[in-house]
């Protein structure tokens, strides 16, 4: 597939600056990329506008910008979360017999970043990298009930049980906050129930959600509270592992 030339050049600039100890001027960048100076200037200014490079006001030389540090920190946080969460996902599978998932908020959706499969012949799997809606998944409702993300503007129905009314969802999230875990009662997929709970870090910030998914025939409404208790305890243990202190955290509106 053909490259987008301007994007490729911008990425090459970032690679050049990564290996430049004292930064680079516009002319140097132009020479390295074999392009004219005006093109190099436009590329550098665009990267600077988005924080990927910054220009020294005295020397006019460019160095890597703070946005790269922010992206790198997000990546490190995700890797750290996955590494720490792995044993707890296995623990959930052992205790519940169902598939266990870990998700974070991304693009106003729940992004699955890890999974441990159940050994049962009939199981509910979600591919890592999948994005799922917030309003009708247990992992997504955790983001809404315990985090600070906004309510979705559009609530698409996936089954006849999907909540598509804002006030009904708000009432559901209030319940979620009080009991400490979220439920998907065949709202995203027919025949599937899910339970999830929040994961916090040392700053008392919500960093993700951990939960289970299983066939409605095994994750029955009569057992849902038992599953919820196990998932919440596991999420709490993972949060503690990440340095979370519940006494320092202010409850969200749904928890009050």
pLDDT value of residue 153: 87
pLDDT value of residue 20: 83
Non-local (6+) Cβ contacts of 54 within 8 A are 48, 62, 63, 64, 65, 66
pLDDT digits (tens), the chain, 256 positions: 677 888 999 999 999 998 887 899 999 999 999 999 999 999 999 999 999 999 988 899 999 988 887 777 666 666 688 889 999 999 999 999 999 999 999 888 999 999 999 888 777 777 788 889 999 999 999 999 999 888 998 899 999 999 999 999 999 999 999 999 999 999 999 999 999 999 999 889 999 999 999 999 999 999 999 999 999 999 999 999 998 887 666 555 555 4
Question: What pTM, to 2 d.p., does this model score?
Answer: 0.69
Residue showing tokens 């996936």: 158
pLDDT value of residue 141: 97
pLDDT value of residue 231: 98
pLDDT value of residue 18: 87
Domains and CATH numbers, the chain: 5-64 (1.10.10.10), 76-255 (3.30.450.40)
- Please give the helix or strand (H or E) that residue 30 lies within, else none: helix 26-33
C-alpha Rg value of the chain to the nearest Å: 23
Residue showing tokens 């959930």: 92
Instruction: Tell me if 212 sits within 8 A of 231, measured CB to CB.
Output: yes
pLDDT value of residue 16: 93
Which structure tokens are listed for 178? 């009080």
């Amino acid at each position: 597939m053909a490259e987008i030339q301007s994007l490729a050049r911008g990425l090459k600039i970032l690679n050049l600056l990564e290996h430049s100890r004292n930064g680079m001027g516009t002319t140097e960048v132009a020479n390295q990329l074999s392009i004219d100076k005006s093109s190099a200037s436009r590329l550098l200014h665009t990267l600077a506008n988005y924080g990927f490079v910054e220009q020294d006001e005295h020397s006019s030389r460019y160095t890597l910008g703070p946005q790269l540090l922010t992206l790198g920190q997000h990546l490190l946080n995700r890797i750290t979360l996955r590494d720490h969460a792995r044993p707890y996902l296995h623990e959930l599978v052992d205790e519940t017999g169902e598939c266990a998932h870990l998700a974070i908020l991304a693009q106003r959706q729940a992004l699955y970043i890890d999974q441990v499969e159940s050994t049962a012949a009939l199981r509910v799997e979600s591919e890592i990298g999948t994005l799922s809606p917030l309003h009708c998944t247990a992992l997504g409702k955790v983001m809404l009930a315990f985090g600070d993300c906004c309510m979705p503007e559009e609530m698409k129905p996936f089954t006849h049980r999907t909540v598509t009314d804002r006030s009904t969802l708000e009432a559901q999230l209030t319940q979620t906050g009080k009991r400490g875990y979220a439920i998907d009662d065949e709202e995203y997929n027919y025949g599937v129930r899910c339970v999830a709970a929040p994961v916090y870090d040392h700053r008392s910030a919500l960093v993700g959600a951990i939960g289970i998914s299983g066939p409605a025939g095994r994750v029955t409404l009569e057992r849902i509270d038992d599953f919820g208790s196990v998932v919440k305890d596991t999420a709490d243990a993972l949060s503690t592992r990440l340095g979370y202190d519940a006494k320092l955290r202010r409850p969200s509106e749904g928890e009050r």
